[in-house]
Chain A
């Protein structure tokens, strides 16, 4: 059985009927780590809030663990774990008090499900008497994850869990998700960071409330239709200008220290010569390794 099934979900806001989620459908298998990847305002949070029964959809339907998100909201609320995008624990309570409180509210105890959170909790346990408001971003996220996990949820919804967290903590966080997956917990995670996409089993690329593509990260990368070059020169701005004016480069954009450019020919030497002609120095042209971000940009056009 699929853990989450979403069919033609629609959500609009306000009197102007601003569409936040537009006819979204996908499904997530049990024990799968599914990522919703998209920029801010793409509709990720709205989808999560509908699936966690916090918002009513304006169209379509969805089931979580076989329960309808409108009719059976009670069952869903007692079986899923939810971690909102904003840090939402009690800042004036200590780590231990927060964890205890949420364990009790969910009708369980820390001891009962300690095995689930052990890996994460041992990292913050030395600070268990510190108030949550005084923790660093990474520690806050770990505590929030512990609180969302303490009742052994069947499905875990993590809304942008790594936003505002340092790179080391982000990496640790994803390693933890990998371990949770091994416990047969279905995980839906949203993130604006494209580099985190490859860590998911499957991803949905989402923009403006619509899903652009759903597949494994590998398949999405392999489905990239064009030849992609990484081009480097001493002056990025002039390089981008030059690439834009070249007839055989349909699209180009800055990508870290390189510029990524799709290219129509097998031979790159004429392009190199062209760039030098434009007065650019330190020109370097090589084949680029396609990333999710490239696919995303391609899909947007």
Chain B
């Protein structure tokens, strides 16, 4: 035990004395949360829209005020002719154009039916969709408002509720994703590199020729990274609660327990990589290409898995971060408990045990 502690203390010296390691360990999670939280959002906020109003009557003005007063849109300029639309789109500054035909109010009142044209820039599909949805719902809202006192038979009104994330905040999806990314980087890459470094510098030779059990060397190397990763989880949660205004709906204890499980999965992966490689660069490349890329692609954090072709959907199942992402999202945003997540947890647990077993089996107690 004393040996183990001395080893752990030594490991902390390594981490704390290397500025680059420190930067990756603590600078990266904070930077990622802030970047994803503020800069890289796919929310529609203050989108510039162009209005072409041929009607200029009561109804069109009321609807415009409604659109302009929502925090999603800024009415940038009222164009006078149809021709200006395309040229303004080309400049790329506006997200959508709303066109009111002449006699908008009259049509509405006398024919009980009027049309509004919405033109969007579909070179960015997601934004175009979202802008259309928001605009449609504002228009529907206005329609309900003027119909409030009228009895119209046979009317179906879809009552849409955005569950768990009523304000459609982007951070909801990013925080669990960033958490998976950061834990992966710290636990897989840093562990792999730190073990391979002992091989590269030759200290592994001395450690092997000592009464210290080789397996304990591995555990002692992994332990500090478990601790540091948990510090990272705490930091990310604090940032998301106090800076991004995203509270943890479910049990914080459960969240930490699941994070610990995922960290151990990553540590086992890192150990496995370190056993199979002999230089720090190779270890880093494999960790980045082999771990980071699948996490970004297959965890569902940036690209919805449901939209992928079936083979890719199947592949995504072997990426541990996918399951962790689902778990964290469910706990943080939906507030679900273990009863709802036992399946994902079990899968992650199975992966962890498998990886640990494989790593320990392939660990060499000699140089070759």
CA distance A56 to B366 in the complex (A): 8
B13 at the interface (CB under 8 A from A): yes
B18 at the interface (CB under 8 A from A): yes
A84 touches B202 (CB 8 A): yes
Which B residues between 321 and 368 are near A, CB-CB below 8 angstroms? 365-368
A105 touches B3 (CB 8 A): yes
B367 touches A54 (CB 8 A): yes
Q: Say yes or no: A92-B14 contact (C-beta < 8 A), given A55-B367, A55-B368, A104-B2.
A: yes
Q: Say yes or no: A106-B211 contact (C-beta < 8 A), given A49-B367, A55-B367.
A: yes
Determine the interface band of chain A, counting residues with CB < 8 A from chain B: 20 to 34
CA distance A100 to B7 in the complex (A): 11
A101 touches B10 (CB 8 A): yes
CA distance A205 to B14 in the complex (A): 41
| Stretch with Cβ within 8 A of B (4 or more), from A75-83, A179-187, A270-278 | A75-83
Contacts of A148 in B (CB 8 A): 206
B210 touches A106 (CB 8 A): yes
B143 at the interface (CB under 8 A from A): no
Mask for A76-114, Cβ within 8 A of B = 1, else 0? 011010101011111111000100111011110000000
Q: Say yes or no: A90-B210 contact (C-beta < 8 A), given A53-B366, A54-B367.
A: no
Number of interface residues of B (CB under 8 A): 24
Out of A53, A91, A147, name the residue touching B201 (CB < 8 Å): A91
Q: Say yes or no: A92-B18 contact (C-beta < 8 A), given A53-B366, A55-B368, A104-B6.
A: yes
Out of A78, A88, A97, name the residue touching B206 (CB < 8 Å): A88
A92 touches B17 (CB 8 A): yes
Q: How far is the CB of B232 from chain A (nearest CB, A)?
A: 22
CA distance A289 to B366 in the complex (A): 45
A52 at the interface (CB under 8 A from B): yes
Which B residues between 196 and 217 are near A, CB-CB below 8 angstroms? 201-203, 205-212
Mask for A42-58, Cβ within 8 A of B = 1, else 0? 00000001001111100
A97 touches B211 (CB 8 A): no
Q: Who on chain B is nearest to A86 by CB?
A: B202
CA distance A78 to B3 in the complex (A): 14
B205 touches A84 (CB 8 A): yes
CA distance A171 to B207 in the complex (A): 28
Q: Who on chain B is nearest to A89 by CB?
A: B203
Contacts of B210 in A (CB 8 A): 77-78, 102, 105-106
B13 touches A97 (CB 8 A): yes
Contacts of A55 in B (CB 8 A): 366-368
Out of A54, A86, A106, name the residue touching B208 (CB < 8 Å): A54
Q: A54-B366, A88-B203, A105-B207 are in contact. List 6 more A-B contacts (CB 8 A).
A: A49-B367, A84-B202, A84-B205, A90-B10, A97-B13, A105-B211
3 closest Cβ pairs, A-B complex: A88-B202, A78-B211, A104-B6
14 intermolecular pairs with C-beta atoms under 8 Å apart: A49-B367, A54-B205, A88-B202, A88-B206, A90-B14, A92-B13, A101-B10, A104-B6, A105-B6, A105-B210, A105-B211, A107-B211, A147-B206, A148-B206
